[in-house]
Amino acid sequence: MPLSILISGVNGFIATDLALAFLEAGYYVRGTVRTQAKADAWLALPSFVSYAASGKLECVLVGDIIVDGAFDKALEGMDYFIHTIAQLPDWRPGVTQDYEESILLPNINGTVSALRSAAKYPQCKKVVTVSSIAAAVDFSIPNHTETVTGESWNPRDYEYGKNAPHPLLAYTTSKKLADEAAWKFMKETNPHFALVNMLPCFVYGPAHGHDPFGINNSSNQWLAGVLFRADWNFRTTSGGPVLVDMRDLCMAFVRAIEKDGANGNRFALGPSGVSVFPSDFASIFAKEFPERAHLLPPVPVDLINAPVFTIDSSKTERVLDMKFRSPEETIIDTARWMIEDGGEEAWRNVGTRY
Inside any domain, residue 158: no
Q: In this structure, how many other beta carbons lie within 10 angstroms of the beta carbon of residue 69?
A: 10
**Helix (H) or strand (E) segment spanning residue 53:** helix 49-53
320-349 per-position pLDDT tens digit:
999 999 999 999 998 888 888 656 666 666
pLDDT under 70 in the chain at which residues? 209-218, 230-240, 300-307, 341-354
Does 324 map to a domain? yes
Question: Structural domain of residue 280, as residue ranges?
Answer: 207-242+271-354
Using the 8-state DSSP alphabet, how is residue 104 labeled? I
In a domain, 27, yes or no: no
Q: How many domains, in total, are found in the chain?
A: 1
Question: Domain of 237: which CATH number?
Answer: 3.90.25
Is the separation of the CB atoms in 304 and 279 below 8 Å? Answer: yes
Cβ atoms of 164 and 173 within 8 Å: the answer is: yes
The per-residue pLDDT for 136 is: 96
pTM: 0.92
Query: Does any domain span residue 111?
Result: no
Distance CA 240, CA 278 (A): 9
In-domain check, residue 201: no
Residue 215: its pLDDT value, please?
A: 44
Q: What are the phi and psi torsion angles at 59 (to 5°)?
A: -120, 145
Q: What is the dihedral of CA 254, 258, 261, 262, to 10 degrees?
A: 40
**Within a domain: 162:** no
Angle between helices 218-228 and 327-340 (to 10 degrees): 80
* pLDDT tens per residue, range 64-76: 888 889 999 999 9
Q: Is 60 part of a structural domain of the chain?
A: no
With contact defined as beta carbons under 8 Å apart, do 25 and 1 qualify?
A: no
Alpha-carbon distance of 222 to 237, in angstroms, equals 8
- Kindly state whether residue 226 falls inside one of the protein's structural domains: yes
